[in-house]
Amino acid sequence: MTRSQLPPGRLRLFAALVGLIVVGSAVYLYLLRAETSTSAGGPTRVFDASQQQSLTHVRRGAHLAFRNMVPGPEYGRLAFAPLDDRDSRQTTLLECNRIYFTNKAGFCLTIARSPAGFRGYLIDSSLGITHTLDLPGMPSRTRVSRDSRRAAYTVFVAGDSYLATGLSTRTRVVDAASGDDAGDLESFTVTRSGQVIHAVDFNFWGVTFTRDSNRFYATLGTRGRTYLLEGDVKERALRVIGDDVECPSLSPDETRIAFKKKFGSGFEAWWQPALIDLSTREVRLLPEPKHIDDQIEWLDDGHILYAVGHSISAARRRSDIWVLATDGATGPTVFVADAESPAVVRP
């Protein structure tokens, strides 16, 4: 990627300032939640009764779950669309900032308004909200395991010492059926080349599960570097297996991980989608000139999905979901307009 392909420096600076405003607002909201509410609250259903038949039809086949970004009263809500008819989106009542779904379970992370706070909604196969979780910070990433037994989330938090040099993250794994906490990654033992490592600036994010929901991959950030981790929930253990990998996403055949690879630093940093082969550790960049800040989703073994923003308005941020072939033979195209946080769901 050449520098000419990057957004202008002033645009990046303005976007960063907008980001600081958003984060500042989120911190205020977090403090407000602490003062006004000590128990979780929120909706008990995802859809209106009149939507049940149409949603059941969509969810019966292969479909995409995503966050609706069409300006208007349904902006920011959970939506579904058949993979073979993506223009026929069904938008629900539930507002989400990040979502992920399987055919049996879902997880919605949101900045709630009444009562104010950050929450996670665990959702069952009938789209009923089974558990509401208070989150320790602003929604960032989420995934549900392929067997629907576990879910994971990453949030930005205030109050940690790492705020001296940037935002801090917290990443937890929960039981998708009960909502019980299965582990905070900060409490796991991290090893590299057989040696236990630890630093006060450890940050974890971007969980992606294997077919065995006990095993997963994630990112560790420390001292300005990022590492690919392999994790075990039961053993509460994390092992460094690669360098310079952010927001991993495991392929359906479990042979490769798609991730965003960082170039540059500070306001001049940008991210490009890449693949790492888990057997050879070979890394290959993909032909995407746009700046990517998303945890990639796999459409199938030969294509990936990711959101690309096309507006920096804090009030009505806009983005589209793009698709890209992993063989690099063809360039990216829009998969679903005015959407983000894609999750491919198959029966």
SS3 209: strand
Asked if the bond preceding 115 is cis, omega within 30° of 0, the reply is yes
**Residuewise pLDDT in 10s, the chain (347 residues):** 443 344 444 445 444 444 443 444 444 343 333 332 333 456 777 998 899 999 999 999 999 999 999 999 999 999 999 999 999 999 999 999 999 999 999 999 999 988 899 999 999 999 999 999 999 999 999 999 999 999 999 999 975 543 445 679 999 999 999 999 999 999 999 999 999 999 999 999 999 999 999 999 999 999 989 999 999 999 999 999 999 999 999 999 999 999 999 998 877 888 999 999 999 999 999 999 999 989 999 999 999 999 999 876 656 789 999 999 999 899 999 999 999 999 999 99
pTM for the whole structure: 0.86
Q: What is the C-alpha to C-alpha distance for residues 9 and 111, in angstroms, rounded to an integer? A: 30
Helices (H), the chain: 9-36, 52-60
Nearest CA-CA partner of 306 in 282, 264, 271 = 271
End-to-end CA distance of the chain: 38
Tokens 């450890």 label which residue? 202
Q: What is the C-alpha to C-alpha distance for residues 79 and 42, in angstroms, rounded to an integer? A: 18
Tokens 């089974």 label which residue? 130
Give pLDDT, residue 113: 86
Q: What is the C-alpha to C-alpha distance for residues 139 and 318, in angstroms, rounded to an integer? A: 17
Q: Which residues pair with 308 in a beta bridge?
A: 320
Q: Using only C-alpha atoms, what is the Rg of the chain?
A: 19
Q: What is the C-alpha to C-alpha distance for residues 236 and 231, in angstroms, rounded to an integer? A: 8
With a CB cutoff of 8 Å and minimum separation 6, the contacts of 262 are: 226, 244, 246, 269, 270, 271
Name the residue type at position 108: C
Confirm if 55 and 94 have CB atoms less than 8 A apart. Answer: no
Domains, the chain, ordered by start: 29-345 (2.120.10.30)
φ, ψ at 40 (rounded to 5°): -70, 145
